[in-house]
């Protein structure tokens, strides 16, 4: 699907989930998909949350902490706007 429609965000989300389900050998691919989602939409909180959970599993704890902070800040900002 992504070959035909590389900008399809829903397909990227589903693909990232499938990579996680496929096991530890595919976590790097899940990370790549969430990074691609964030390149397209830097305010996509679900991808920051997913990366905060994925990064520790591949040994990138500092990146996980940064993604967790970003998700919390964006969520707080969105809450204040309401």
Mean pLDDT, consecutive 10-residue stretches, the chain (82 aa), reads 68 93 96 96 96 98 98 90 74
As a residue count, the chain comes to: 82
Rounded to the nearest 10 degrees, what angle do helices 27-40 and 45-54 cross at? 160
Q: What is the pLDDT of residue 5?
A: 67
Q: What is the pLDDT of residue 6?
A: 66
Q: Which pLDDT belongs to residue 7?
A: 75
Distance (Å, whole) CA 58 – CA 53: 10
pTM listed for this prediction: 0.88
Candidates 2, 7, 67; CA nearest to 29 is 2
> Given this model, what pLDDT does residue 77 score?
86
């Amino acid at each position: 699907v992504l070959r035909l429609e590389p900008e399809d965000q829903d397909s990227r989300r589903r693909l990232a989930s499938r990579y996680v389900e496929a096991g530890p050998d595919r976590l790097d691919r899940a990370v790549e998909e969430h990074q691609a989602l964030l390149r397209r939409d830097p305010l996509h909180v679900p991808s920051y949350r997913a990366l905060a959970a994925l990064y520790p599993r591949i040994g990138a704890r500092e990146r996980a902490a940064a993604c967790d902070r970003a998700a919390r800040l964006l969520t707080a900002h969105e809450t204040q706007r309401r």
